[in-house]
Amino acid sequence: MLNGHAKILRLIEIAGEVSGRKKLHKMVFIAKKLNVDFDDRFQFHMYGPYSEELTLRVDELCNLGLLDEEMETKGAIQKYRYILNEVGSDFLRFHEADLGYGEALIRRMNQENSRFLELVSTILYFDTLTYEEMKEKVFTLKSKQKYTEEEILKGLAFVDELRGLQH
Residue 75 φ/ψ, nearest 5 degrees: 65, -125
Provide the pLDDT confidence category of residue 145 given band limits of 50, 70 and 90: very high
**Cα–Cα distance between 63 and 57 in angstroms, integer?**
10
Pairwise CA distance, residues 85 & 143, whole Å? 38
Which residue pairs from 39-47 have beta carbons closer than 8 angstroms and sit at least 24 positions apart in sequence? 39/3, 39/4, 39/7, 40/4, 42/125, 44/125, 44/141, 47/22, 47/118
Q: How confident is the model at residue 167 (pLDDT cuts 50, 70, 90)?
A: low
pTM, rounded to two decimals: 0.94
- 48-64 residue pLDDT tens: 999 999 999 999 999 99
Q: Is pLDDT of 96 > 90?
A: no
Distance of CA 90 to CAs 7, 15, 94, 130, Å? 14, 17, 7, 46
Q: What whole-number percentage of the chain has pLDDT above 70?
A: 99
> What are 66-90's pLDDT values in tens digits?
999 999 887 888 889 999 999 999 9
